[in-house]
C-alpha cells in the first residue's frame, strides 16, 4: 500500500512540475521585460531619446545585448514598449485616484490634480523620460498613436469636472478653456520639477497647483490661512 501511494505521489508531482515550470518561465520573462523597460526609462532620463542605445539599456539592466534583442528585437520596439508601459501606468494612476475620490466634483478635481504629483508617476526620472518622448520629432507619431486617445479622455474628464464646478459656483469661466489652462499648468510644473532640481519639489509643485484651483474656484477651494 505504501509503495502504491509513493507511486501516485511521484506521478502527481511529475504532472504538476511542467505546469509550475511553465508559470515560472512566464514570470521570469515578464520580469526580464520589466527590468529592461525600467533600464530604458533610466537611459531616456539621462541620455534622451536619440542617444539611448540597446547597449545602454543592456548595461543599465546588467544584462547582455542578446537578451535585449531576444525580448524586443530593435530599439524602436523597446521604446514603444516603454512608452506603452508609462502610458498605461499614468492612465491607471489617475483613474484610480478618481475612483477613490467619490462623487463630489471638487474632491474629484483635487484628486486628479494631486495624482500628477505622486512619486510613482512624477519622479524626476520618469518626467525626464516623458520629456524625451515629447521632445524628439521621431517619437511624435508613435506618441500620438499610443497616447493621443488617452490624452483626449483625460482632457475631457478635466473639462467635465470644470464644467460641474463652474455651474455649481456660478463662475464666469469657460470649461474647455479652463481645463486646457489647468492641463498646461500641470505640464509646466512637471517641467519645473525636472529642470529646477531641489528648488522645486513635488510638494511645492502641488501647492502651486492647489493655489491655482483656489484662484479659479474659490467657493470650492477656499484659501487657507497663512
105 & 40 share domain: no
66 & 83 share domain: no
Task: Please report the pLDDT score of residue 22 as a whole number.
Answer: 43
- Rounded to the nearest integer, the mean pLDDT of the chain is 88
Write the Ramachandran bin of 62: left for phi over 0, alpha for psi from -120 to 50, otherwise beta.
left
Statement: residue 21 has pLDDT above 90: no
SS3 assignment, position 58 = helix
**CA-to-CA distance for 82 and 36, rounded, in angstroms?**
9
Task: Please report the pLDDT score of residue 9 as a whole number.
Answer: 52
Q: Which residue has the higher pLDDT, 225 or 114?
A: 114
CATH at residue 126? 1.10.357.10
51 & 96 share domain: no
Q: Which residue has the higher pLDDT, 76 or 6?
A: 76
Structure confidence by residue, pLDDT tens digits, 121-166? 999 999 999 999 998 878 888 899 999 999 999 999 999 999 999 9
58 & 145 share domain: no
36 & 96 share domain: no
The CA-based angle 121-122-124, given to 5 degrees, is: 125
Q: Which residue reads 502527481 in cell numbers?
A: 12
- For the residues of 17-48, what is the DSSP string, one character each? HHHHHHHHHHHHHHHHHHHHHHHHHHHHHHH-
CATH at residue 26? 1.10.10.60
Task: Please report the pLDDT score of residue 6 as a whole number.
Answer: 56
Number of folded domains that form the chain? 2
**CA-to-CA distance for 83 and 143, rounded, in angstroms?**
8
**CA-to-CA distance for 52 and 55, rounded, in angstroms?**
8
Return the C-alpha cell found at 215. 484662484
Side-chain half-sphere of 220: how many Cα atoms within 13 Å?
Answer: 22
Cβ pair 107, 63 in contact under 8 A: no
186 & 89 share domain: yes
- Phi, psi (5° rounding) for residue 100? -80, -15
Closest CA to 129 of 201, 49, 59: 49
58 & 123 share domain: no
Longest dimension (CA), the chain: 86
Cβ pair 162, 109 in contact under 8 A: yes
Statement: residue 8 has pLDDT above 60: no
87 & 194 share domain: yes
Q: Cα torsion for 165, 169, 175, 180, to the nearest 10°?
A: -70
SS3 assignment, position 131 = helix
**CA-to-CA distance for 190 and 209, rounded, in angstroms?**
11
Structure confidence by residue, pLDDT tens digits, 154-206? 999 999 999 999 999 999 999 999 999 999 999 999 999 998 877 899 999 99
108 & 199 share domain: yes
The CA-based angle 118-127-135, given to 5 degrees, is: 150
Cβ pair 159, 177 in contact under 8 A: no
Q: Which range of residues forms the domain containing residue 110?
A: 76-226
pTM across the whole model: 0.83
Q: Which of 45, 73, 101 is the last residue of a domain?
A: 73
156 & 176 share domain: yes
Mean pLDDT is lowest, of 4-8, 43-47, 93-97, 191-195, for 4-8
Torsion sign, CA atoms 134, 136, 137, 143 = negative
SS3 assignment, position 50 = coil
Amino acid at each position: 500500500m505504501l509503495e502504491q501511494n509513493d507511486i501516485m505521489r511521484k506521478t502527481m508531482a511529475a504532472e504538476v512540475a511542467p505546469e509550475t515550470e511553465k508559470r515560472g518561465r512566464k514570470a521570469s520573462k515578464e520580469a526580464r521585460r520589466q527590468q529592461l523597460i525600467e533600464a530604458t526609462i533610466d537611459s531616456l532620463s539621462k541620455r534622451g531619446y536619440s542617444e539611448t542605445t540597446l547597449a545602454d539599456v543592456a548595461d543599465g539592466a546588467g544584462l547582455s545585448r542578446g537578451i535585449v534583442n531576444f525580448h524586443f528585437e530593435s530599439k524602436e520596439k523597446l521604446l514603444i514598449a516603454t512608452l506603452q508601459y508609462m502610458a498605461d501606468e499614468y492612465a491607471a494612476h489617475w483613474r484610480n485616484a478618481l475612483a477613490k475620490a467619490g462623487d463630489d466634483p471638487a474632491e474629484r478635481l483635487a484628486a486628479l490634480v494631486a495624482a500628477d504629483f505622486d512619486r510613482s508617476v512624477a519622479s524626476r526620472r520618469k518626467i525626464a523620460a516623458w520629456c524625451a518622448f515629447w521632445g524628439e520629432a521621431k517619437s511624435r507619431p508613435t506618441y500620438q498613436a499610443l497616447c493621443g486617445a488617452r490624452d483626449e479622455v483625460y482632457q475631457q474628464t478635466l473639462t467635465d469636472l470644470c464644467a460641474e464646478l463652474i455651474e455649481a459656483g456660478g463662475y464666469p469661466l469657460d470649461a474647455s478653456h479652463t481645463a486646457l489652462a489647468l492641463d498646461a499648468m500641470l505640464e509646466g510644473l512637471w517641467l519645473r520639477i525636472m529642470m529646477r532640481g531641489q528648488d522645486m519639489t513635488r510638494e511645492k509643485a502641488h501647492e502651486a497647483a492647489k493655489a491655482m484651483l483656489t484662484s479659479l474656484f474659490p467657493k470650492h477651494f477656499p484659501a487657507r490661512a497663512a
